[in-house]
Chains A and B, each alone.
Chain A
Amino acid sequence: MANASDPRVDARTGTPTTGHEWDGIAELNTPLPRWWLWTFYITIVWSIAYWIVYPAWPGIAGWTHGMFGWNSRTAVVQDLQELKTMRAAGEAKLSAAKLEDIEKNPELLSIARAQGAAAFANNCAPCHGAGAQGAVGYPNLNDDEWLWGGKLADIQTTLQHGIRWDADKDTRSGAMPAFGKDGTLKADEIKNVAQYVRSLSGLPNEGGADLAKGKKVFADNCAACHGDDGKGNQELGAPNLTDKIWLYGSTTAAIENRVTVGGGGQMPAWGDRLDPTTIKALTVYVHSLGGGK
């Protein structure tokens, strides 16, 4: 292309110039590297092929559907179907097995734990923690203290229907009254009963509360759910107050606050969101974390 006699060709390099010139300095029109140019042409050809094979151009009454009628909604359904087929063997075993037999069979247990661990990480970990260690207000699932029961069937029911989850009519319910807020207990009564509750697990009396009076307040107001001995009642989700496990903390302030505002945590009902086999796997997973009864 370069022609030595052409005034628009730079004599020194033999490269054509653009014709733009400033003070005798001409702009070289260096051609693009050949590999780049060919890659560029290939992408053009590729795009045309893509238009033909895949849905691409919108029209007046619809759009070009492509050679195979590919469609993202159909594709995802197929992908999910493939996944289901891939999992079918394990899934079938798990769904056929009785809940209480899964842990006795090492193969079933490993399937359930694998599936349960994945579902736990996605759905449960934000509240209960990645290691099921819990957080303030969200129970630790590794210990052997259970609010609503730690047997397989109990855990399954909790997962299926949730806790205080109004959208599910079979949800576990039982709310602690707001003794302070609604005026049932006065400030000094709350103080006394809070220290009495602390004394149940051997914690020191802070602020010189009258434990005998606290015991009386407990017997009159708390024992109905937490039991005369404070050991709790899993039917009502009333925690055991004598162990050293505290959902909202063992400080005087935390206990007084709980007596004042009452209530209790919520857990969503997972029955609508997760399929029965996943719930089964999660049940076994949680049960096998260490505290299962």
Chain B
Amino acid sequence: MSHGLLVSADNIDFMIHGLFSYELFGQTVWITTSHVCILIVMLSLILFAIAANRKLAHATDVPDNFQNVIELMVEFLDSIVKGAMGGSAKRFSNYISTIFLFIFFSNISGLFGLRPPTADYGTTFALGVITFCLIHFNQFKYQSLKEIWVDMCSPLPPWLPIWFPINLISEIAVPISLSLRLFANVLSGTVMMALVYGLLSAIAYVWPSVLHIYFDLFSGGIQTYVFTMLTMTYIKNVIGDRDEVPAEAK
């Protein structure tokens, strides 16, 4: 790679860098760029939340700009949770909205010069594990042990648990595939942008913004939607209709 536009192949950089290390129980643990980027995303979200809270404390009947934005966001998030979860939307809308905002701002943080925290498998795997715990907490909350056993042995009858190990593997695969999907999508965008800026740095002016729109905004938005949607679908699957308010109680 020593000719033409490809001269600067050395400055391709999309890796995670360690910033400083410390010893913990005999292991060397690194504080990396991902941690810093997560902290920046979290701080900006917290600041936004505080500002929104202040604003809504003095909410007016005729909303001004900022209040309009907040109401739009909350209504949008509430409507997707309501559409996917029905009866238990109220209990989950806080958590789902939180991870939606977190993943979305993480994905688009590439626009602000950060390395997206979701392009680190540690971040997305943590999110996948939270989903996994939520699924099984709700499964044990809403279903009896017998129902779970029958479900795990399906499609064969419950006295013949040949399919049990296979179903067990498919349960364990849920958080892994969820987190790998988000991770690989964001990572591929990060790598593509790094390649564009690294290899074509001589002519990479203005037009990469089109790629930013696709890789950061579009792809990031779609993946955020997919992650939250799949989380809600999995949880709704184990809850079923058991959360609907009975007809006589209405």
A in complex with B: no
Q: Chain A residues in contact with chain B, CB under 8 A?
A: none
Q: Which residues of B contact A (CB under 8 A)?
A: none
